[in-house]
Amino acid sequence: MGTRMNEFWHIICILGLALITLITRSFFFISERQWQLPAWAQRGLQFAPIAALSAVIIPEIFMFHAQVSMPLTNARIYAALGGAIFFVVRKGRGQVVLGTILVGMAIYLPLHLGLGWS
Amino acid sequence: MWATALRWVHPVSILEISVVMFFIKENYSHPSFKLGIKDISSAAPGIAAWGMMIGVAMIQSGMSVFDSVLMTLIVFAGSSQLAAIPLLVAGAPLWVIWATAFCVNLRFVVFSAHLRAYMMSWPRWQRLLAAYLTADLSYVQFVKRFERPATELTGQRSEQAYLAGNCFLNWASWMIASLLGIALAHYIPADWGLGFAGVLALVGVTCSLATSTLKRISSLIGGVVAVLFFTLPLKLNILIAIACSVFLCLTLEMLFVRYKRTVAPGEDGDTYE
C-alpha cells in the first residue's frame, strides 16, 4: 500500500513538472488578451538569448564546487577556449558548432580522464 | 471539468493532439522546416550528450525506471529535471519540488515574452504546443534566424515551419539519448564528463550569437553576473544575469548607438557596428 501510494505520488509530481514546463515556456502567450510589450523591452530582449547562454556556460567553465576555479589544471577552460577558437577560425560557417564540440572534447577528455584535471 | 478544460484549449484540439506540430504537413513540407533541422543538427550531439547525462543521473540517484522514463517523456526540461531529481528521491513535499522547478525554469518566462510577438497569430493550441517543445537552443536559434516577427502570412508560415523543424530534431536527439542513458545507466560512470559536450554545444551557439559589440558585451555581463550570484538557490543567478545584461545593454545602446538611428530610422538592427 505504502509503495503504491508512493508511486501515485511520484506520478502526480512528474505530471506537475510537465505542466510547469508548459506554463513557464508559454507564460506570456497563454492568454489571448491583446497587449503589447513596450518597445524598449522588445528591443532589450534581443540581448536575452546570448546573456542566458553565457550565464549558463561561464559558471560551468570557470567554477568548481561553487568556487571560481582558474588553476592551470582546469581542463574546461582549455577545452572551451579551443572550441571557441575553432569557431572563430571557421568564421561560423558550416556545421561549426559540431566542430566546436569535437575540438573541445578532444582537448577535454584526455586532460580530464587522462591527467585527472577538473 | 474536463469539458471546460478542453473547450479552453481549442475547439478542434482533440484532432490536433494527434497531429503534433512536427507532423502538420504545412510544416514539414515547408523549406524552412529543413533549415530549422540544419541549424540545430550541428548542436545535436551536445544536446544528446546532455540528455544522456540526465538519463544516467535519474537512475543513479535512485529513481525507478518507470519514473525516469515518464519524466523524460513528459517533462522535457533538463535543468528543472536535474533540480527535481534529488528532491523527488528524498520525498520532499510536492509544492517544494514544483516551486523549485518553476524557479529554475524562470528564464523560459523571459523567453516567452520575446516569443509572444511571433506566436500570437497562431491558434492557441499550436502556440502552447510549440512553446512546450521550445527549449533553450530552439528559442535562441529561432530569434536569431527571425530577428523581427513577420507581419504577413507567408513569413509566419515560414517561422512556424522553422521552429517545428528545429524543435523536432532537438526533441528527438534529447529523447533518444535520455532514454538510452536510462537503459545504460549502470554502464556509464557519471564522472566521464560527458555532459561537458552540452556545455561545448552552448559555447558554439553563444559564439554564433556574438554578432555585434553590444552582444559580446551582453555575453560578458551575463557570464560575470552569473558567477557573482552563483551561490543563490534555484538557478536565480541566471535570471539576474539576464536582467542585468538586458538593462545594461539597453542603456549602452541608448547612450552610444542613438546617433546612427537618427541617420536611418527603422534600421535599428545590428547595423551599428
Per-residue pLDDT of chain A (118 residues; tens, 9 = 90+): 457 778 899 999 999 999 999 999 999 999 888 888 888 888 898 899 899 999 999 999 999 888 888 788 899 999 999 999 999 998 877 778 888 999 999 999 999 988 888 8
Q: How confident is the model at residue B123 (pLDDT cuts 50, 70, 90)?
A: confident
Spell out the SS3 assignment of chain B: CHHHHHHHHCCCHHHHHHCCHHHCHHHHCCHHHHHHHHHHHCCHHHHHHHHHHHHHHHHHCCCCHHHHHHHHHHHCCHHHHHHHHHHHHHCCCHHHHHHHHHHHCHHHHHHHHHHHHHHCCCCHHHHHHHHHHCCHHHHHHHHHHCCCCCCCHHHHHHHHHHHHHHHHHHHHHHHHHHHHHHHCCCCCCHHHCCCHHHHHHHHHHHHHHCCCHHHHHHHHHHHHHHHHCCCCHHHHHHHHHHHHHHHHHHHHHHHHCHHHHHHCCCCCCCCCC
Q: Which cell goes with B138?
A: 530552439
User: Which of B43, B196, B224 lies nearest to residue A76, judging by beta carbons?
Assistant: B196
Q: Which residues of B touch A23 (CB under 8 A)?
A: 102
What chain B residue is nearest to A82 in terms of C-alpha separation? B200
Q: What angle do CA B256, B257, B262 make, to 5 degrees?
A: 125
B137/B37 Cα distance (integer angstroms): 12
pLDDT at B108 over 50: yes
A14/B183 Cα distance (integer angstroms): 19
Best residue of B200, B228, B239, B253 to probe chain A, by most A CBs closer than 10 Å: B200
Write down the mean pLDDT value for chain A. 89
pLDDT of residue B25: 74
pLDDT of residue B260: 52
B positions 228-247 inside 8 Å of A (CB): 230-231, 237-238, 241-242, 245-247
- What SS3 state is found at A94? coil
A positions 76-95 inside 8 Å of B (CB): 76, 79-80, 83-84, 87-88, 92, 95
Best residue of A19, A27, A81, A97 to probe chain B, by most B CBs closer than 10 Å: A97
pLDDT in tens, B147-187: 999 988 899 999 999 999 999 999 999 999 999 999 999 99
User: Which among B116, B251, B5, B78 is positioned nearest to A26, based on CA atoms?
Assistant: B116
Q: How confident is the model at residue B22 (pLDDT cuts 50, 70, 90)?
A: low
pLDDT at B119 over 80: yes
pTM of the predicted model as reported, rounded to 2 decimal places: 0.83
Using the beta-carbon criterion (under 8 Å), do A55 and B115 form an inter-chain contact? no
Exposure string for A2-26, b = 16+ CB within 10 A, e = fewer: eeeeeeeebeebbebbbebbbbbbb
Using the beta-carbon criterion (under 8 Å), do B128 and A96 form an inter-chain contact? no
